[in-house]
Amino acid sequence: MFNLFRENTKIALGSIRGQMLRTILTVLIIGLGVWALVGVLAAVAVLQNNIVGNFAVMGTNTFSITQYDNARQLGRRNVATERENPIITYPQAKAFQEKFVFPGAKTSLSFTAASGVEVKFNQKESDPEITVVGADDNFLPNSGLETTKGRNFNSFDISNNNYVCVIGADFEKGILKDVNPIGQTLSIRGARFKVIGVLKGRGSTFGNRQDLNIIIPIQLARSLFSAPSINYTVKVSIANSDFLDGAVGEAILNMRRIRKLPPTATENFGIERSDELLETLKSQTDTLTIAAGFIGIITVFGSSIALMNIMLVSVTERTREIGVRKSLGAKKLTIAMQFFTETLVICFLGGIVGLVLGLLTGFLLSLIMNTQFPVPWLAMIAAFITIGVVTIVSGLFPAIKAAALDPVDALRYE
């Protein structure tokens, strides 16, 4: 059996070399199909790793009080039927921070002061795409943010409204390139801030380039970027995640009192738990993976039909060759294995090309998104299974047709 396979492989390779242009086109057809499958799955894996990773760094012991619950907006319920919640004002956020007393809890206040801001350093100016965030000293740890250089705000910075700032990682690629950012002075709308820390890079999520953020003390942000209807976010971290349910319940009661809600009224604010939000994101990305895999399978199915058509044409063109081999004593199994092996070799070459292109697609996307490239084992397994399925689907019928040819009729074929 091994000798038969080896002989058929030699014949298949000889036929492939004899029809080089057709072989290249056929390999590209299979390669494009596998590329679509592996590339889409690898891209989804990178996207999932980026999204889930950015939220996972917050841990499972934090929650936020916001205008709406984004976890529910991601699919927990139909938000179209919900009423509009009022914004969380600074007096409400500050009152919550002062009144919420829970063992091991740390509360931070923050708001997006401005987007599309231009920042200056000496004679250099950044592109007008910087986001300014006003926050206190608990904001970084509560948000899962880390500094790679310098330090976070301390209570003295916040209480004394020191003109200091913590910047995103991309500043070192822009106006602060080739200099030590710590101690440098940045100008924001005429106010001069001393850089005390640089954040660890986080990449981009939902189109939001988080590494272009600049964080300043919250009271300074309120004075520099005063605007009506500013919406504040309250973030709370609990020392022990086992007490998270109790802390959330206590926070809801406190916020209801601050909002002066009657006992029968539903909450007009959102509670975002990090564990629930993470599970929701995983569920959504898992659904995206299934959809992407389905699209890739359809593409591969189209490639297999094209390959089957090409192999049938090959059988027709080599009818006299089949007749000669049968007249010399070749059995049906030998003829069938010859064409099946040829299909297997073409599928294998196309699968390798598609697998490499798919992995490169995912790797390039990870570089663009500045995130770690997760090895897409699911995509690689799917690629090998696909190669096997395509070989069977595309090669079996032409091989059976070739083996069933009558040698006398085959020799008469013109």
Give the residue among 214, 212, 232 at the shortest CA–CA distance from 222.
232
Alpha carbon 141 to chain centroid, angstroms: 24
Which pLDDT value is given to residue 202? Answer: 74
- Longest CA–CA span in the chain (Å) reads 100
Residue with tokens 């950015």: 54
For 226-281, the pLDDT digits (tens) are 777 889 999 998 888 788 889 989 999 999 999 999 988 888 898 888 766 666 66
Query: Going by C-beta distance under 8 Å and a sequence separation of 6 or more, which residues neighbour residue 375?
Result: none
Which pLDDT value is given to residue 76? Answer: 47
φ and ψ of 202, to 5 deg? -125, -5
The residue among 27 and 249 whose pLDDT is bigger is 249
Which pLDDT value is given to residue 204? Answer: 56
Which pLDDT value is given to residue 198? Answer: 94
Q: In whole angstroms, what is the distance from residue 9 CA to residue 98 CA? A: 78
Which pLDDT value is given to residue 79? Answer: 46
Q: How many CB atoms lie within 10 A of CB 7?
A: 14
Q: In whole angstroms, what is the distance from residue 181 CA to residue 149 CA? A: 9
Residue 182 has pLDDT above 70, yes or no: yes
Specify the range with the lowest mean pLDDT, choosing from 34-43, 112-121, 204-213. 204-213
Query: Is the pTM above the cut of 0.85?
Result: no
Mean pLDDT value across residues 103-121? 91
Whether the CB-CB separation of 65 and 269 falls below 8 Å is answered with: yes
Q: In whole angstroms, what is the distance from residue 62 CA to residue 282 CA? A: 18
DSSP element (H, E) containing 366: helix 332-368
Residue 193 to residues 111, 150, 188, 223: CA-CA distances in angstroms? 18, 14, 8, 14
Mind giving me the DSSP string for 142-185? HTT--EEEE----HHHHHTT--EEEE-GGGGGTTTTTS--TT-E
Highest mean pLDDT among 175-179, 193-197, 375-379: 193-197
